Chains A and B, each alone.
Chain A
């Protein structure tokens, strides 16, 4: 379990607002997360943790610095290749579930496979298996609106799973859930991490949630403030 799932070297991300004001959301972040790791990124709002998560999820590109996801340098990829990388290596779990309300749980879970060109029969089969593995084998044809919040988030986790990613990014996965559902979802994520060896990165400001992770990376003002599990790799520069 020493393959890096994600490697960031002095990554910055700045935005130019209307009127020419430049916002430096990330000011030089170096980070390595290996396959099979379970890490939480914590920090107050405005700290840059969402920006970091978008970069790690290949939804965005760094302004400067190198970012390697599953061994591929993101800066060398065009939009189409980036989409493919997302599709094949990254699973997302969002705070607000982001399920399409009009289609069934199975269809929601199968969606990443659509963009991979998987046949319809195989998509349905794999979506079923994924839903069964999160304990929703009895909710296959339900629509998201017919499910509880906890169930919806489990559908979302199944959707993240179905493409067999190496990295699972969860953005406040328990933020919209009651305590019990939140605990269930956390158990599920931990189980995925241990059973399937998927690297799980949680973005949260819930300390209880963060406390369950094996590694905590604290972000403040666009820099890593502390990291209790940093790898002592040669190419990792130290934040100033």
Chain B
């Protein structure tokens, strides 16, 4: 029997039991759609994080107390402001070292208030990070030295507190202390719904007094070239080890951070896809079940076809095609649904979703394979039916 004819017969049989075919497909549809959506969200999350980390600026070395491990307990910082100069000397360029001390505080203008991250920084931040200013200016060395109460607003904080009014030169109350606004940042977008535009930067010295702390949380060093990074990392760690004997510090690059995050998100994506694949498997069992029912129902048809000259193989191929059609049509619908849902998710919700070219292909391949795998047993049973017995079946 020709393949095209077997295909036609199989399609015909599926059409004859339309509702049953659709219900059987549903298992595969849900499985495939789930794989596509979860992989899209996983790889979207990865891409988003990578974009954010890369967006910090290039050739960046982040210096934090303790060791940078996911799942490790955060270490109490013993870094202090003089370490900015220490690292400046170690690196040979004081303007390449930025610092931060952060705390969440209540910020008020008139009757409007927001709770947001106050980031105490120094004037080098604009050199080290990629954080362009929209209006006004950034914090200066003089601001840091004289503990001036000035602030640079992120775009969303500026909008929330001032609306359409130009905030430059106006007053804002941070944790009860008045600050003058000297600039606003360009919009940088959000990560997982966390708005980086809400940040408010103030001079690190003012922040320390405001928070009542002596420490700084972290330092960032910009290396002049990619090749100089390992040497600079070593110099930083040596300088810190000398000053704080017995304490552990980490100096990591974006690439190292990306590697760690990538590993974690990759694993997460894999786990999500595996969970979704289980539902695909369950869908396959459903297909197998329905194919067995179909073989039983059509026993007489099989007997007749055999009497008219169908070989065992003809019958087997016919039922196998039927099973593969069920799963691959289901697979295509599932892919369409999954891609649609992924696009909708990235457009309408803060979840980033990115369709990778391989996930729909893989999902389709797997669903067709599920059809073959779960179709073989019923199809073999059909092929082996004794025509005499089959024809007698009522």
Residues of A within 8 A of B (CB): 54, 57, 59-60, 79-80, 83-84, 86-88, 92, 94, 98, 100, 102-103, 111-112, 114-117, 120, 159, 163
Contacts and interface: CB of A to CB of B under 8 A. Distances in A.
Contacts of A103: 12
13 contacts: A59-B306, A59-B307, A79-B311, A80-B313, A83-B310, A83-B312, A102-B12, A111-B305, A114-B1, A114-B5, A115-B309, A115-B311, A163-B309
A115 B1 CA distance: 5
A26 to B, nearest CB: 13
Contacts of B187: none
Interface in B1-41: 1-2, 4-5, 12, 16
A87 B309 contact: yes
B86 to A, nearest CB: 85
B239 interface: no
Contact of A60 (B16, B305, B388): B388
B105 interface: no
Contacts of A116: 309
List the 4 closest A-B pairs by CB distance, nearest first.
A87-B309, A115-B309, A112-B308, A83-B311
A83 B2 contact: no
B290 interface: no
B308 A115 contact: yes
Interface string B358-389: 00000000000000000000000000000110
Given A59-B388, A60-B388, A115-B1, A84 B304 contact: no
Q: Tell me if B's interface is mostly helix, strand, loop or mixed.
A: helix
A111 B388 contact: no
A121 to B, nearest CB: 13
Contacts of B1: 114-115, 117
A52 to B, nearest CB: 12
B195 interface: no
Given A83-B311, A87-B308, 20 more contacts: A54-B388, A57-B307, A59-B391, A79-B311, A80-B311, A83-B306, A83-B309, A86-B306, A88-B309, A98-B304, A103-B12, A111-B308, A112-B309, A114-B1, A114-B5, A115-B311, A115-B314, A116-B309, A120-B4, A120-B5
Contact of B300 (A98, A120, A163): A98
A163 B308 CA distance: 9
Contacts of A79: 311-312
A117 B313 CA distance: 14
Interface of B: 1-2, 4-5, 12, 16, 300-301, 304-314, 387-388, 391
A86 B313 contact: no
Contacts of B307: 57, 59, 86, 92, 98
Nearest to B314: A115
Contacts of B305: 111, 115
Contacts of B314: 115
Q: Which of A79, A83, A88, A163 has the most CB of B within 10 A?
A: A83
Contacts of A88: 309
Contacts of A115: 1, 305, 308-311, 314
Contacts of A94: 391
A92 B308 contact: yes
Nearest to B16: A102
B308 A117 contact: no
Nearest to B12: A102
Nearest to B387: A59
A114 B16 CA distance: 20
Contacts of A159: 308
A80 B1 CA distance: 12
A100 B304 contact: yes
Nearest to A97: B304
A47 B83 CA distance: 108
B314 to A, nearest CB: 6
Contacts of B301: 100
Which of B306, B309, B314 has the most A CB atoms < 10 Å from its CB? B309
Contacts of A87: 308-309
Nearest to B307: A92
A182 B225 CA distance: 99
Given A114-B5, A115-B314, A86 B309 contact: yes
A200 to B, nearest CB: 17
A98 to B, nearest CB: 5
Nearest to B304: A98
Contacts of B311: 79-80, 83-84, 115
Contacts of A112: 308-309
Nearest to A55: B388
Contacts of B388: 54, 59-60
A156 to B, nearest CB: 10
